[in-house]
Structure 1
Amino acid sequence: MQQIYLETRDLLKQIEDAVENRKQFSLVRIGDGENLVMSQHHVWPISKVLQERWAMKANRGEKGLTLPNLPLRNAVVSSVKKATVVGILPAGDNTINAPDYLKRPLTDKVFAHYQVKPAVICHAGVNRELARMKEFWSLLSGRRILVITREAEKIKERLEKEPYLQNIVYALPFDQWSEYRKTIKWVIAHKNHFDVALISCGVSAVVLAEQIASLTGKVALDFGKANNIILKGRPN
């Protein structure tokens, strides 16, 4: 089966189609953090994973998860296999600030090990582009939006103002992977009250986006650093 690569405007069309026709749709994205989480034990020894700066930051409470974490590894692998579109970094890409060996080379190893073969892929940095596109915000205009992120109220407040003028019906705080079950339970209970979920909470967003789409039939996007662009005008 041939893999389809979507440019940003093609992805936008797919999101629009899913929103307008009420189709289940999930976008997940793979960066260095997702690669490290998925590589635990099977692709890299845990000891090697824990030596990485990203893992050290995670274990200092900066990434919304702690390592080792095999249940999270399994959940991320499962969600990447089931997502509608998977964002990956092209070889040699510099969108994210991480050592090259933690980017596409590790994605390739992880995907080979778990036999992950996404049917549809796009650039992992697509969220940053979407956040800056008028077309993206105009297609969401009038839709009922759920935001899930650490700074939920701040994002809600900003997105309700110019130039976004979005209808944020719920702003759900999410800080740690340990809040996953409680969050999913809440989302299922409120599934008839939103159309699109924008999720920015690190690696956990991969699982949340895919599972929210699967369990509610809605559009759920792993929105990542787009939050920083909305709040501060830059990704980091």
Structure 2
Amino acid sequence: MNSIYLEMDGVLDQLEAALLEERPLSLVRVGDGENIVMSQETVWTTEQVLQERWAIKANLGQKGLRLPNMQLRDEVAASLQRASIVGVLPRGDNTIKAPDYLKRPLTDMLFAHYGISPPLTCHACVNRELAQNPRFWQMLAGRRVLLVTRETEALRATLEREPYQLNIVTALPFDSYDQMQDTLEWIQTNQHTFDVALFSCGVNAVVLAERTAALAGKVAIDFGKANNIILKGRAN
């Protein structure tokens, strides 16, 4: 990967510039879930994929998608090819609880397979850092924020209060991949109602964030487990 690797301040600089200049930017992230979804019939057989603990949980309705799903596989890969900034796990990173073979080694295989070479990368857990970074919240102050997540009520209520005091214009509930098309249509139709979108909906967020930047011309962030940090003080 010949990407420029951004530390936290670099990511914040990119987000801030895009907000000020009102231009599209998508920040997406690749963890074990994204790797597993993209592995279907590319670097692994579907049988291998379905044996993974993550895939078993997905098929119990815990991940917002069910496998096999080749359409989502292709959409995730396409969004990673087009995204502005892609969060990846550094080699040997222990931030997320997953076996090492599901992390950076698999990402490298998949990026080679799909020819994905992001111009800018950062740490895949950038969302957790953003959630705890005062500069990020100051940047969103006064902006119209769209929230897309399973926990709309709780997250909206928390983010509208101190210390965040965000202007959440809409909170769209998103539970599963079946809602992808309707959600993207809503975003395109209502693009003039918001300035920045935060997506906490698992692997689906990669596609939603990249497509929102492309279709609505907005800053769109795959916010991942940051909602847990905001609501519970921890990522898991």
Q: TM-score, normalised by structure 2?
A: 0.99
Give the secondary structure class of the aligned counterpart of 1:87: strand
- Are the counterparts in 1 of residues 2 and 117 from structure 2 also a CA contact under 8 Å? no
Counterpart position of 1:26 = 26
Q: How does 1:30-49 map to 2 (within 5 A)?
A: 30-49=30-49
1:42 Cα deviation after fit: 1.0
Per-residue CA distance 1:38-80 (angstroms, 9 max, x = gap):
0100110000000000000000000000000000000000000
Partner SS state of residue 221, structure 1: strand
Aligned to 1:148: 148
Map 1:121-132; keep pairs closer than 5 Å: 121-132=121-132
Counterpart in the other structure of 1:189: 189
Q: What residue identity is the alignment partner of 2:12?
A: L
Asked if the contact 2:31/2:103 (under 8 Å) is kept, the reply is yes
- RMSD (Å) for aligned C-alpha atoms: 0.8
Runs of at least 4 residues off by over 6 Å: none
In structure 1, the partner of 2:175 is 175
Aligned to 1:199: 199
Q: What does residue 54 of structure 1 align with?
A: 54
Give the match's secondary structure for 2:111: helix
Corresponding pairs, count = 236
Q: Secondary structure at the match of 1:180?
A: helix
Distance 2:10 2:42 in 1: 35
> 1:119 Cα deviation (Å)?
1.0
Tell me the CA shift for residue 2 of structure 1.
Answer: 4.2
2:216 matched to which residue of 1? 216
- Whole-angstrom distance in 1 between the partners of 2:2 and 2:116: 14
Query: Alpha-carbon deviations, 1:124-171, whole Å to 9, x = none?
Result: 000000000110000110000000000012111100001101100000
Opposite residue 168 of structure 1, the aligned amino acid is I
Q: Secondary structure at the match of 1:165?
A: coil
Equivalents in 1 of 2:199, 2:25: separation in Å?
13
Match of 1:78, SS state, is: helix
Task: Give distance in 2, aligned partners of 1:152 and 1:35.
Answer: 27
CA distance in structure 2 between the partners assigned to 1:181 and 1:36 by the alignment: 22
Displacement of 1:86 in angstroms is: 0.3
Structure 2 distance, partners of 1:154, 1:193, is 22
Structure 2: tracts of 5 or more residues without a match? none
**1:98-117 matched pairs, under 5 angstroms:** 98-117=98-117
Name the counterpart of 1:165: 165
Distance in 2 (CA, whole Å) between partners of 1:42 and 1:128 is 30
Rounded Cα–Cα distance in structure 2 between residues aligned with 1:128 and 1:2: 25
TM-score normalised by L of structure 1:
0.99
Letter in 2 for 1:129: E
Question: Is 2:118 the partner of 1:90?
Answer: no
